[in-house]
Structure 1
Amino acid sequence: MTFSSSDSHLLVVPTARTLQGLLLLLFLSLAFAETNLSDDPTAYELLERFNFPKGILPQGVQSYLLSEDGTFDVYLSGDCEFKVTSSYLLRYKRKITGTVKSGTLDDLNGVSVRVLFLWFGINKVVRSGDELHFYVGPLSASFPSSNFEDCPRCRCGFNCATPLVSDA
C-alpha cells in the first residue's frame, strides 16, 4: 500500500479493542506501582534488619524516613507513654529522630525515661549479644533483648490485659 502526500492528514480512530488494551496496560501499571510501594519494609522490620528487636518501638508507627547515611525520622500517631518496670516510665514523642547502623541507635531525640521524678533523654541504644544498653548521657541501663520481642502499647506498655473472648 502506498500513501501520497495528501494522505498525511489521516485520522486514526482507536477501536474498542485498542482502548481496552490501553486501559488494561494502564491498570497493570498502576497495580505494579502499588505492589512496589507496599513492598517497603515497616519500621519494625527495619529495626530487625539492623539487629534490634521490634519491641523497642511502641505500636502505632504511622511512617518513617530513612536516609542512606542512616539518619531516620519515625512518626507515631501521637505522643506515647507507658511503664517498663515499676521504676521506669518511658515517653516517646510523636517524632523520633536519630541515626541507625547495625547494633547501634545513636543521636536519639524524642525518647525519654522518668527515673523517680526526673525525665532524662535516652540518647543511644547499643545491642551487645543478647543485651540492650540504653544510654542517658554517660549512664546506662541494660536489659535482655528478649524483653522487647513484642511492641508495647501506649498507656499500658508490655502488660496490657487482653480482652476476654466469650464462647457464646
Structure 2
Amino acid sequence: MGANFQSKPISWISILCSIILLLTYFTTPSLSASTKYDLNPYDILLRNNLPKGLLPVGAITQHFDGNTGKCTFKLNHSCTYKIDGNYLKFESTVSAIISSNSISNVEGVKLKIVSQWVSITKVNRIQDQLKFAAGNVARQSLVHNFNVSPSRCADV
C-alpha cells in the first residue's frame, strides 16, 4: 500500500536557471532589500522625527543613501513661501544629510533675514522646536508650524 515514487534526475538546465534566478534576485537593487530609494522625501523626514512641512508639496527623491543620510530632492521649480513669519526660498534642487532630529550640509534652501537671503546650513529639532542655522543667525520655530507641507510655493 505504499506509494511508488520514482526519482527523476534534475537536468543541468534546471540547475543553471535556478542559479541565474537567485543571482539576479540578490544583485538587482530593486529586488533585494534595498527599498530605501523608494521613499519619498516626506517619509524620509518623518522617519527621522522631522516634520514633512520642511519641504513644499511636490518634492521627489532624486537620491537617498540610507547609510549616510545623504539625499537630493527635486522640486518642479524654485519657489518661496512664508511660514511662521519666516520666508524660505527653495532652489529646484535641494540636498542635505538627514539624520534623527537633524538636517545638516543643507544646499539649495535660504532664509530671508532683514532684506538678504542667507543659506540655511542646518536644522535641528529640539523637543517641540526647530532651530534653523543660517550664517551667523539662528531662528527657531515650533515644530507644529511645519506639520503640513506648503502647497502654495510661489515661483521665484
Output the TM-score relative to the length of structure 2.
Answer: 0.70
CA apart distance, 1:82: 1.4
Residue identity opposite 2:109 in structure 1:
V
CA apart distance, 1:139: 2.2
Which has the greater radius of gyration?
1
Contact 1:131 1:143 in 2 (8 A): yes
Q: What is the CA deviation profile of residues 55-99 of structure 1, one whole-angstrom value per residue up to 9, with x for unaligned ones? A: 11100113331112111111111101112245x321100000111
Query: What SS does structure 1 have at the residue aligned with 2:148?
Result: coil
Query: What SS does structure 2 have at the residue aligned with 1:151?
Result: coil
Identity over aligned pairs, percent:
27
Contact 2:84 2:141 in 1 (8 A): no
Contact 1:43 1:64 in 2 (8 A): no
Contact 2:63 2:73 in 1 (8 A): yes
Contact 2:61 2:71 in 1 (8 A): no
Q: Which runs of 5+ in 1 are unaligned?
A: 1-32, 157-168
Equivalent of residue 53 in structure 1, options 48, 51, 54: 51
For 1:129 and 1:107, the matched residues in 2 are separated by 21
Contact 2:84 2:145 in 1 (8 A): no
CA apart distance, 1:40: 2.5
Output the TM-score relative to the length of structure 1.
Answer: 0.65
Contact 2:123 2:132 in 1 (8 A): yes
Q: What is the CA deviation profile of residues 29-78 of structure 1, one whole-angstrom value per residue up to 9, with x for unaligned ones? A: xxxx7xx98x9221101100011010111001133311121111111111
For 1:102 and 1:144, the matched residues in 2 are separated by 17
- For residues 127-138 of structure 1, the aligned pairs below 5 Å read 127-138=125-136
Match of residue 79 from structure 2: 80
For 1:95 and 1:137, the matched residues in 2 are separated by 20
Match of residue 115 from structure 1: 113
- For residues 57-68 of structure 1, the aligned pairs below 5 Å read 57-67=55-65, 68=67
Which structure is higher in strand share?
A: 2
For 2:92 and 2:147, the matched residues in 1 are separated by 22
Q: Which runs of 5+ in 2 are unaligned?
A: 1-30
Q: Over aligned residues, Cα RMSD in angstroms?
A: 2.3
For 1:63 and 1:76, the matched residues in 2 are separated by 9
- For residues 124-163 of structure 1, the aligned pairs below 5 Å read 124-153=122-151, 154-155=153-154
